[in-house]
Amino acid sequence: MQKHVCKRCVMDNIGDPLISFDENGYCNYCTDALKAKDLRYFPNDDGKRQLDEIFNKIKLDGKNRKYDCMLGLSGGLDSSYVAYIGHQYGLRMLAVHIDDGFDAPETTKNIKKICDSYNIDLVVEKPNKEQFTDLTRAFIRAGVPNIAIPQDNVLFANLYKYVQENKIRCFLNGSNFALESILQKGNSYDASDKVHIMDIQRKFGEIKHDGSLPLFSMFEKRIKYNLFYKIQTICPLNYLEYDARNAFSILNQTCGFEYYGDKHCESLLTKFMQRYYLPQKFGVDKRKSHYSSMIVSGQLTREEALEKLSEPLYEEKQLQKDMAFILEEIEISKEEFDEIMSQPPRQHTEYKTSIINRGTQVLLKIRQKTSGY
């Protein structure tokens, strides 16, 4: 396959069959992101006005409850900065963190600093280790791209459990346009598909799951909580100028936030997936999406992004250390893991999926066949 790199951002067709290019050599990702920029990102006075109105309404709606809102606190930059913004507005927040055993050392310290400094109540959930390990191991054995799906699903299952228990109607989300306007569509899948998760567990798992590990379904995501419970999801970072370097600086100054590495490196499992597993098995370098998003939002030039991409994904000594730790945690031998890595990659669509998501899968397959890559 001939490599094609976008002439405006740094997305390419390696590891992503759903990318396409126009006559100028610009890819569909940055073209779509630029079209959506004025509709989704408001780093201006109008954005501040909208955020003021949103937060004032949240505080009004929550005045007879213990909390105004809730957020999932991963310890990464995005959710941490959302916590800071919520504190600046005087919101009474409940933070939920999932301690799955894969937090980077800095992450644990950062979460405590954030909650102590910003007066946020914190709940730390530790998922059933045996069952969580079994699910993660099953996804690796399945050979699919997103081996962090169990991690993401358990997070949202717990978040909505606490939303319901505390009668909270608003969820603050760290998703944002500035750093995430471009998300690769190829080699990805919706983490809320419980049908998919359990099919992979039945095929590659070793134990019977008894329900003590909470999981989240597409029905719950799209219908139960959105339509019936009317849980409102707010993305505050879209209503202000969100610059990664500035956000790190503010967090460091206000609570002693420590640098943990690039995007998603707050979790050693996610870091390993994005910096070793995906590049080696699928040819996917997630940095391209992240840096391309920063190009769209004006935080990087294309030349700076290309220079950053020339840096190694992993320092070899750290790679070996992280790999040894992760394989021990999920109880897979190095020999078995090497065998899995040598096998042809498989896609999530090769396993059972929720009927709710099948229409999307059909559209993606049509796009893949007609893209020419």
Q: What is the pLDDT along the chain (373 residues), one digit of tens a residue?
A: 688 999 999 999 998 888 999 999 999 999 999 999 999 999 999 999 999 999 999 999 988 899 999 999 999 999 999 999 999 999 999 999 999 999 999 999 999 999 999 999 999 999 999 999 999 999 999 999 999 999 999 998 998 888 888 889 899 999 999 999 999 888 889 999 999 999 999 999 999 998 889 998 888 877 776 666 678 899 999 999 999 999 999 999 999 999 988 888 899 999 999 999 999 999 999 999 999 999 999 999 999 999 999 999 999 999 999 999 999 999 999 999 999 999 999 999 999 998 876 555 555 455 445 544 3
The pLDDT score that the predictor gives to residue 71 is 95
pLDDT at 371: 43
Q: Which helix (H) or strand (E) holds 175?
A: none
Instruction: Please give the biggest Cα pair distance in the chain.
Output: 61
Domain residue spans in the chain? 28-350
**Enclosing H/E stretch for 110:** helix 105-118
What lies within 8 Å, CB to CB, of 19 at 6+ separation is: 4, 11, 12, 13, 27, 28, 29, 186, 371, 373
Residue 1 has a pLDDT of 67
Query: Looking at the domain covering 28-350, what would its CATH class be?
Result: alpha beta
Residue-level pLDDT at 231: 81
Query: Given this model, what pLDDT does residue 263 score?
Result: 82
Strands 121-125 and 170-172: unpaired
What DSSP string runs through 263-298?
A: TTTTBHHHHHIIIIIHHHHH---THHHHHHHHHHTT
Looking up tokens 């997305």 gives 11
